[in-house]
């Protein structure tokens, strides 16, 4: 029953929506369920990307540590994925993810994730689409923030 539930969750993700169910079942089987209590760290900014996490239940905060201190940049919930950028780009994690509520995740280790992407090109297309949407949204928000900062600096 659990593998079927994990499979349903993976099918809802834009990254995996177009993948054949039998192929996706292999990914669900190779993944590990991991539970986090509120306040527990899922992954920490600066650490190597060793896994991606699919949130099955609960909420998590994404916090970026900058020169001015920690800034919450997003809230994640069911069917969100975190950690795939560090895996794909081979860079350290760009933010810290902390469980806000009891959090049930599906952990996909780096090797399994990359092997799946290599084996099933449709996943790579899904990843590119999802990252393009995120980049568009980030650029839009950045433009809004820059405009707000400019308006504030022009005030007497």
Domain that holds residue 27: 2-154
Q: Determine the pLDDT at residue 153.
A: 64
Report the chain (156 residues): mean pLDDT per 10 consecutive residues. 78 77 83 96 94 94 91 90 85 94 95 84 78 81 80 65
Beta bridge partners of 61: 75, 98
C-alpha–C-alpha distance, residues 93 and 65, integer Å: 11
CATH code where residue 41 lies: 2.60.120.10
Total structural domains within the chain: 1
């Amino acid at each position: 029953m659990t593998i079927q539930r994990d499979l349903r969750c993976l099918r809802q993700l834009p990254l995996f929506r177009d993948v054949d169910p039998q192929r996706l079942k292999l990914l669900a089987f190779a993944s590990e369920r991991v539970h986090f209590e509120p306040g527990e760290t899922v992954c920490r900014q600066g650490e190597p990307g060793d896994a991606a996490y699919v949130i099955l239940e609960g909420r998590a905060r994404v916090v970026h540590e900058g020169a001015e201190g920690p800034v919450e940049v997003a809230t994640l919930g069911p069917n969100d994925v975190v950690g795939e950028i560090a895996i794909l780009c081979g860079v350290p994690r760009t933010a810290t993810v902390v469980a806000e509520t009891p959090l049930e995740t599906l952990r996909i280790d780096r090797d399994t994730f990359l092997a799946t992407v290599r084996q099933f090109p449709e996943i790579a297309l899904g990843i590119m689409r999802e990252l393009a949407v995120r980049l568009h949204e980030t650029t839009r928000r950045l433009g809004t923030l820059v405009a707000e900062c400019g308006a504030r600096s022009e005030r007497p």
